[in-house]
Amino acid sequence: MIGCIRLVYVSKFYRNDDAFKLDLMNILTTSINYNTQENITGVLCYGNGCFIQCLEGKKSTVNDLYFNKILKDNRHISCQLIYFEDAKVRLFDQWAMKFAPLNVNLRNFFLEHHGSEFNPFLLNTLTIGPFLKLLSKQNEWEYYI
């Protein structure tokens, strides 16, 4: 898989009202459609008003998506790139965009490693890898928000 990279960013969602579910569904639908066409895989995790998203694919395509679309999307506040690496194997190869809502496993990970509720801005070089592996194993239908 020559030229494949993994990019991870965190951000806060711009709104926290009843309409946010419609915006979240719009983000997921748009992501799935675009990523399928561009051979991008990944996961979007949401909880406590925060996103963490992992994107995998061709370097130029993923970079274009992040720098020219996501950073310009006004639904993301405080968007920060937290991880970038060459990827020999995709963790989310079956998913154009997997959705992983906050659940007990993700909460427990943050309590154990960061002594805090879910806050992806706390992830660091020691915890980002294990967290991504945990996300790759999450069944999106078994969750608690």
What does the alpha-carbon distance between residue 83 and residue 9 come to, in Å, rounded to a whole number?
7
Are 104 and 47 within 8 A, CB to CB? no
Domains and CATH numbers, the chain: 4-100 (3.30.70.100)
How confident is the model at residue 143, as a pLDDT? 38
Q: Which amino acid is at 28?
A: L
Average pLDDT of the segment spanning 113-133: 94
pLDDT in tens, 51-100: 999 999 999 999 999 999 999 988 888 999 999 999 999 999 999 999 98
At 140, is the pLDDT very low, low, confident or very high (cuts 50, 70, 90)? low
Residue positions counted in the chain:
145
What does the alpha-carbon distance between residue 66 and residue 39 come to, in Å, rounded to a whole number?
15
- Residue 113, pLDDT > 50, answer yes
Q: How wide is the angle at C-alpha 55 spanned by C-alphas 62 and 80, nearest 5°?
A: 90
**Cβ atoms within 10 A of the Cβ of 129, count?**
13
